Amino acid sequence: MTILLTPAEKLVLSVIEARRQQRDEARDSPSEIVSDALWRFLSEVEEMSRGEIEALLPKAEPKKGSKSKVRTISRKKGA
């Protein structure tokens, strides 16, 4: 998933990140900040609990013997 932000939105995200770092909060990455904002929006504006949202997700069965695969993609020269 790709999310595009305006310069003003990038600034807001940077301000929130800096303030969380000053307060020594654990959730200070841009992804965590956006995630926190989405959950807060759902709970306060849409009046849905986290449990209600998670109940909509299909139950995932654990895969047996599967290992996560990490792959590094190198940049092409001149890109």
pLDDT in tens, 13-64: 999 999 999 999 999 999 999 999 999 999 999 999 989 988 988 887 776 7
Residues of the domain holding 24:
7-56
Phi, psi for 43 (deg, rounded to 5): -75, -40
Query: Is the CA virtual torsion 62, 67, 68, 73 positive or negative?
Result: negative
Is 32 within the bounds of a domain?
A: yes
- How many domains, in total, are found in the chain? 1
Is 22 within the bounds of a domain?
A: yes
Is 23 within the bounds of a domain?
A: yes
Is 37 within the bounds of a domain?
A: yes
Is 67 within the bounds of a domain?
A: no
Is 44 within the bounds of a domain?
A: yes
Q: Which two tokens stand for residue 26?
A: 């654990």
Is 13 within the bounds of a domain?
A: yes
| pTM of the complete model beyond 0.75 | no
Task: Using alpha carbons, list the distances in angstroms from residue 72 to 1, 16, 75.
Answer: 18, 30, 10
Is 70 within the bounds of a domain?
A: no
